[in-house]
Amino acid sequence: MILTSKRILMGNEAIAFGAMKAGLQVASGYPGTPSTEVMETIASHASKYGIYAEWATNEKVALETAVGAAYSGANTLVTMKQVGLNVASDPLMSLSYIGVKGSLVILVSDDPGPHSSQTEQDTRAFGHFSNIPVLDPSTPQEAYDMAKLAFRLSHEMEIPVILRTTTRVSHGCADVVTEDIEPAGRDIEGYVKEPRWTIFPKLTAQRHPWLEDLQIRISDRFSDHFSENTFNSISKGNSKIGIASSGVSSLYTNEATNKQTGTFSHFKLATVHPFPEKAALEFLSDITDLIVIEELDPYLEEQFLQLIGRHHLDVNVYGKKNGHFPVSGEYDVDVVIEGVNSSLQSMNAEVPLLTHSTPVVARENIPSLPVRPPTFCAGCMHRTVFYAFKKAAAKLKKENGKGTVFSGDIGCYTLGNAQPLNMVDTCLCMGAGISMAAGLSHTQQYQEGNYAKQVAFIGDSTFFHSGIAAMISAVYNNADITLAVLDNRTTAMTGHQPHPGIGLTAMGNPTKAIDIAEVLRSCGVDLVETIEADDLGKCIETAKMAIEYEGPSAVVFKGKCVGITKATGQYVIDEEKCTGCNFCVSQLGCPAIFSMSSGIPQIQDNCTGCSLCAQVCPSDAIDLREVLQ
Amino acid sequence: MKFDILIAGVGGQGVVLASRLLATAAIDAGYHVATAETIGMAQREGSVTSHVRIGDEVCGSLIPAGNADLIIGLEPAEAARNIHFLSKDGSIVVNEHAVIPSASANNAEYIPEHVIEFLKENCQETINVDFTQLAKEAGTYRATNVAMLAAAAGADLLPFNPEELWSVLEKMVPEKYRELNRKAFDMSLERVSGMKDPEKQEQVQVQAMDT
């Protein structure tokens, strides 16, 4: 008997439990919002269920690690966010030709909006590109159930399967029915030598027809929605208008149309790639107009358009391509109502339009409110380092008239772009700050002496992710750059995961800690300094020295993320001494300090006692009030 | 049954924990629940919201505009920023304590009292208390979120009562902070107990004059 229990789970936790129920044995990933909690949940249950779980240095490494284990017959999972899949795309594209033994599920979280990503890219398109099946759950419960389906499918078809979620599934919580998990154990066949595991042009040519044939077989299987639970469903309406949707958009569709239940036929797709053509054709046979509702790319819309064209069907399609639905941004019930109404008006349907609820105050009637852009936390060490480089660069500019370009990177420190620091001149993707600084240093403008030096900032986890190769390339190619490593002893942005510099694995076991300064020295950087980030004067001095050094230089700034440490005290403004110059506010942008247009600044409860404001105050008017225990 | 709650605040105020507590209480009461929470970059001192949808049917986690039965605003401007989610019969529980953004954001003057007035003008059932001060009196400003949930339950604005809510809190709050949170919870209940009942309110005022 399978024992079940109902509990509140975040979608990511539900996926972890689904994977563990499916017999997961090896898991690897790199943290990235909104995917991170899948691996965190597995790591915290790993020893209990006999699973091996790790944080890899990047997504390519994570995938390759899982592939190795899968070749040995293990049930494996690899986790990442949508931009992480770009990093892992090299092994992925080859892997689809080769396939796997055991099972391999790739959890990729997309971020429509985007809330915390560089792009709004759609992993369904990556499935199409790489010929890998994609499952698209709409709720945490489906995420749990479809994680199990993904492992089953991967094992049976001998191909990796992508389980793709979006933010509202990954980071939404819901009541989820889960089953008791038996420890999986490490009982696997083991690696068996076969030519099949070594990719060569000849093998690729042999495997390609298999891969293409597999697409048709899986499409047929996904179409078979009545005999097997594929999570696809078709409900018939009493009009000739149909709606097709996938993922969380299916729920928005249900809610948007719930006052007209029975009007529209609804095809909810959960197995989105390979497109279940037979089921789609059956759905299209009863309708004259099709509204496609999906976030991100018009993936389903294109699949339907192709199918309709190929079969010469007389069905009009309404979606992103003809402007009825937005092509970017996150959807919700209101967006869906607007899109459906626009479609209905366009088709002159004799169906009443959908209605919005009436808010007590319309959004446009809300008076102007203070904006609250995300910024460094109060007490964050990054603020000190960025401010130090700002001061050092200003001094150099004064001395020799040369400017400095600051290349940022991906992590908490991307927020160095916020006013008043304004210290991120370029930011592209992880590791790019170093390579871009190198590229900038090889331009004529720099060679002609208009710039002092190219400065790149990178965090500790990102340094291990993709900073090392960039630094080696920069040194090898004589790029004149200064690297500032912002080492706050954790992967802060995604929720404080350990990394190779910490000396602790994902499962909490002690391991060898890799010293970033030593890595930099062995990369050929001649000037490498390591300093604590709490003394502003020393930080400015060191920054200036590193910039002035001829050739590649690096400074590792060490501090501790305030997200995982306790406040050391609180500062207060001495009203007697304060001249109201507002220097502390205008220079630092610390969220603990504010000032009204009249009066002296004040320090709020979130002060952690970092002392930076006291160090910059020209009147010595900021004092430590109490040292908290 | 369908009951939608929007919790709004500033990163670090405990919005996510508040929504988890409500969601757990909803499951214990036998409902389906769906939440949408702000996690990641936006949390760094930015505006954060959590949507909590409680009901008999599984639904998407984002509340449509004009659908929220209750807004819990841990900060006045954040409550106002999200008032377009509130339905015509909805209620607001709002913290009077403002978190003022650093002036570097180039903001116009933020006067929290004006924002509270705006909320009261647009929502008849608005409960406004300096919950941060109340939590400080109980022992720590960090218990503000718990105090506000207690106020909502105590004022009968949730689909479960204060005892049901506390039994969830008791399970979820670590033991060393439990007593402190209980104190904030009780002080908040007492504070709102008079607000819905004019007779009691009068007594509270009389007591206040005595002391």
Cis amide leading into B112 (omega within 30): no
pLDDT value, residue A116: 86
Is A163 near chain B, with CB under 8 Å? no
Q: Contacts of residue A493 in chain B, CB cutoff 8 Å?
A: 40-41
Is B44 near chain A, with CB under 8 Å? yes
Q: Is the pLDDT assigned to residue B210 strictly greater than 50? A: no
Phi-psi region of A411 (alpha: psi -120 to 50; beta: other; left: phi over 0): left
> Per residue in A297-311, is it b (16+ CB within 10 Å) or e — as a string?
bbbbbbbbbebbeee
Of B62, B80, B103, the CB nearest to A168: B62
Q: Contacts of residue B60 in chain A, CB cutoff 8 Å?
A: 168, 248, 251-252, 254-255, 332-333
Listed range (A189-198, A206-215, B34-43) with the worst mean pLDDT: B34-43
In chain B, what are the domain boundaries? 2-208
CB contact under 8 A, A356 and B66: yes
Instruction: Tell me which residue has tokens 């370009």.
Output: A405
Range A189-216 average pLDDT: 94
Q: Contacts of residue B62 in chain A, CB cutoff 8 Å?
A: 168, 252, 332-333
CB contact under 8 A, B99 and A604: yes
Q: Is the pLDDT assigned to residue B43 strictly greater than 70? A: no
Q: Which residue of A has its CA nearest to B107?
A: A370
Confidence band (pLDDT; 50, 70, 90) for B104? low
A556 phi and psi angles, rounded to 5 deg: -95, 110
> Per residue in A65-103, is it b (16+ CB within 10 Å) or e — as a string?
bbbebbbbbbbbbbbbbbbbbbbbbebbeebbbbbbbbb
> What pLDDT, in 10s, does the model give residues A125-180?
999 999 999 999 999 999 999 999 999 999 999 999 999 999 999 999 999 999 99
Distance in Å, alpha carbon of B182 to nearest chain A alpha carbon: 22
The per-residue pLDDT of chain A, averaged, comes to: 94
Is residue B71 within 8 A of residue B81, CB to CB? The reply is no
A212 phi and psi angles, rounded to 5 deg: -70, -40
Range A200-205 average pLDDT: 94
pLDDT value, residue A374: 82
> What pLDDT, in 10s, does the model give residues A288-328?
999 999 999 999 999 999 999 999 999 999 999 999 999 99
Instruction: Tell me which residue has tokens 């076969």.
Output: A194
CB contact under 8 A, A375 and B11: no
Q: Residue A414 gets which letter from DSSP? A: G
Domain B2-208 has CATH 3.40.920.10: yes
Residue A54: both structure tokens together:
């790790």
Q: Contacts of residue A605 in chain B, CB cutoff 8 Å?
A: 132, 141
Is residue B19 within 8 A of residue B52, CB to CB? The reply is yes
pLDDT value, residue A227: 54
Instruction: Tell me which residue has tokens 């299209």.
Output: A284
Confidence band (pLDDT; 50, 70, 90) for A628? low
- CA-wise closest residue to A483 among A528, A513, A522: A528
Q: Is the pLDDT assigned to residue B119 strictly greater than 60? A: yes
Is residue A8 within 8 A of residue B23, CB to CB? The reply is yes
Interface of A with B in 400-419 (CB under 8 A): 412, 414-415, 419
pLDDT value, residue B209: 47
> What pLDDT, in 10s, does the model give residues A333-389?
999 999 999 999 999 989 999 999 999 999 999 999 998 888 899 999 999 999 999
pLDDT value, residue B106: 58
The per-residue pLDDT of chain B, averaged, comes to: 89
Percent of chain A with pLDDT over 70: 98
Is residue A312 within 8 A of residue A258, CB to CB? The reply is no
Is B87 near chain A, with CB under 8 Å? yes
From the centroid of its chain, how far is CA A276?
28
Is A139 near chain B, with CB under 8 Å? yes
Q: Which has more confidence, A515 or A402? A: A515
Is A73 near chain B, with CB under 8 Å? no
Q: How many CB atoms lie within 10 A of CB A456?
A: 30
Q: Which has more confidence, A35 or A403? A: A35
Collapse the DSSP code of B21 into the 3-class scheme (helix H, G, I; strand E, B; otherwise coil) and give the result: helix
Range B11-40 average pLDDT: 92
From the centroid of its chain, how far is CA A327?
20
Catalogue the E-assigned strands of A4-73.
4-10, 26-29, 52-55
3-state secondary structure A361-407: CCHHHCCCCCCCCCCCCCCCHHHHHHHHHHHHHHHHHHHHCCEEEEE
Rg value, chain A, Cα: 28
Is B21 near chain A, with CB under 8 Å? no
CB contact under 8 A, B66 and A357: yes
Interface of B with A in 164-193 (CB under 8 A): none
Query: What distance in Å separates the CA atoms of residue A349 and residue A596, rounded to the nearest whole number?
Result: 56
From the centroid of its chain, how far is CA A66?
20
- What value, to the nearest 5°, has the Cα angle with vertex A198 and ends A196 and A199? 100
pLDDT value, residue A187: 73
Percent of chain A with pLDDT over 90: 88
Confidence band (pLDDT; 50, 70, 90) for A474? very high
Q: Is the pLDDT assigned to residue B197 strictly greater than 90? A: no
Q: What is the pTM of this model?
A: 0.94
Range B69-91 average pLDDT: 97
Is residue A122 within 8 A of residue A299, CB to CB? The reply is yes
CB contact under 8 A, B64 and A493: no
Of A171, A251, A414, the CB nearest to B60: A251
Q: Is the pLDDT assigned to residue A620 strictly greater than 90? A: yes
Which element (helix H / strand E) includes A439? helix A432-441
Q: How many CB pairs under 8 A join A and B?
A: 201
Q: What type of residue is A134?
A: V
From the centroid of its chain, how far is CA A230?
27
Q: Residue A466 gets which letter from DSSP? A: I
How far from A123 is each of A120, A135, A169, A213, A273, CA to CA, in Å? 10, 10, 15, 22, 10
Is A251 near chain B, with CB under 8 Å? yes
Q: Which residue of A has its CA nearest to B60?
A: A251
- CA-wise closest residue to A236 among A272, A268, A275: A268
